[in-house]
Amino acid sequence: MFAEKRNRRSDMMWIYILIFLLTGSRGMAQGTTNSNIIVNTTTSPLKVYVNRNEAFNLGSDARLICSNKIWTKAVFVIWNIELKHKTCKISFNHEGQSSNSCNDGKSLQNSTDQSFLHIPNFSVNDVGVYKCESAYTGGNENYNITVGVTVPPVVSAWLERRGNKMVAVCRAERGIPAANISWSVTGNHSVTQQNNPDGVVTVESQLEVPEDIDRENLTCIVRHQLWEGERTLVPDFLPEGISIFYFIPVFGIIFILVAGFSIYALKKVILLRQCQPTDSPKLPPQTEDVEEVEPYASYVQRVNSIYN
């Protein structure tokens, strides 16, 4: 009996090693993955607890695996999903019963050897904690997976003249996680980071270009977790060497001219309305000319008297 228990412990340890190796290999295939596995061998049946971090590219089809067990050996699989704006649940059992309260495209699918949670067109709204419990004959596995998103930033670089200084600006916009910006030359520089409500991050670095530096040797280097290499940009002046800050006075002058013309036109309209009479004079009613009617009446009266 003692030998049987020892063999059972040995089998459990091999199961633990197998789970660890398979989890690590799957994490390498999907990107950045950190795992923490705890095997409880003091109770029966066998219980495995796994904490893992995963990140998926924006717009990709994500696949989360809860257990390494063969699909046909699973008794049930339950996903409890905690997102930023909601929580939902997806489950399935060996009798064919299933439920899905997510209603956002997530579904529990299975291949020839194992089941997985399918997340189509991964977005920022899919970021959250995915808890999975998978039961099979002889034990169960509990996965706690923290899922994030990776978004490549949009990079740009340019030069500006501010007084008697030349400033180089390098920007990495709307990336997750934040990009890292560095310069090929040393100098007085500053870095600002803007965290947007939707989770994306914009990083901007400004460098005061030393006077003894050749502009052709000035480059901006941007690194991001999603890229295998780095992005190198050579900053240059905006078209015709005009900085965007120079347009601010021009826009101000145009605004003042338009406002002044509008006020002048409004005053002219008010003066014209005041000059016009409010009521037009009423013409007296036309009276019938009595003098022209009376001779005709007397003539008719005389003629009638003759005939009478």
pLDDT tens per residue across span 82-120: 998 899 999 988 888 889 999 999 999 877 677 899 999
Amino acid 230: pLDDT: 95
Amino acid 26: pLDDT: 42
Contact 33, 8 (CB under 8 A): no
Q: For 275, phi and psi rounded to 5 degrees? A: -75, -30
Point out the least confidently predicted range of 180-189, 226-235, 242-251, 267-276. 242-251
Better pLDDT: 113 or 257: 257
Point out the least confidently predicted range of 8-12, 61-65, 183-187. 8-12
Q: Which two three-digit tokens encode residue 213?
A: 């530096």
N- to C-terminal Cα separation, the chain: 165
Q: Which residues pair with 237 in a beta bridge?
A: 159
Q: Measured between alpha carbons, how far is 187 from 33 in angstroms, rounded to an integer?
A: 37
Q: Kindly tell me if the per-residue pLDDT of 28 is higher than 80.
A: no
Mean pLDDT of the region 46-66: 90
Point out the least confidently predicted range of 40-44, 73-77, 221-225. 40-44
Own/partner pairs, 34-39, CB within 8 angstroms, 24+ separation: 39/12, 39/15
At 36, is the pLDDT very low, low, confident or very high (cuts 50, 70, 90)? low
Contact 133, 115 (CB under 8 A): no
At 257, is the pLDDT very low, low, confident or very high (cuts 50, 70, 90)? confident
Q: State the burial class of residue 182 (Cβ atoms within 10 Å of its Cβ: 0-12, 13-18, 19+).
A: middle
Mean pLDDT of the region 22-45: 49
Mean pLDDT of the region 279-293: 54
Tokens 């400004």 -> residue: 206
- Determine if residue 306 is left, alpha or beta; phi over 0 gives left, psi from -120 to 50 gives alpha, anything else beta: alpha
Strands, sheet with 201-208, edge to edge from the N-terminal-most edge strand: 154-162, 165-175, 201-208, 189-195
Better pLDDT: 89 or 281: 89
Q: Which two three-digit tokens encode residue 278?
A: 């409010």
Helix (H, G, I), strand (E, B) or coil at 201: strand
Amino acid 295: pLDDT: 55
Cα angle, residue 269 at apex, residues 264 and 270 outer, rounded to 5°: 100
Question: pLDDT over 70 for what percent of the chain?
Answer: 70
Q: Which two three-digit tokens encode residue 34?
A: 């950190």
Q: Is the dihedral of CA 104, 111, 95, 133 positive or negative?
A: negative
Amino acid 205: pLDDT: 97
Q: For 148, phi and psi rounded to 5 degrees? A: -125, 175
Point out the least confidently predicted range of 10-19, 64-73, 240-249. 10-19
Mean pLDDT of the region 1-11: 47
- Calculate the average pLDDT of the chain: 78
Amino acid 82: pLDDT: 96
Q: What is the pLDDT of residues 123-139, one digit of tens each?
A: 989 999 999 999 988 78
At 183, is the pLDDT very low, low, confident or very high (cuts 50, 70, 90)? very high
Amino acid 187: pLDDT: 86
Question: pLDDT over 90 for what percent of the chain?
Answer: 39
Better pLDDT: 267 or 36: 267
Q: What is the pLDDT of residues 194-236, one digit of tens each?
A: 999 888 999 999 999 988 788 888 999 999 998 989 999 999 8
Enter the DSSP assignment of 211.
T
Amino acid 42: pLDDT: 52
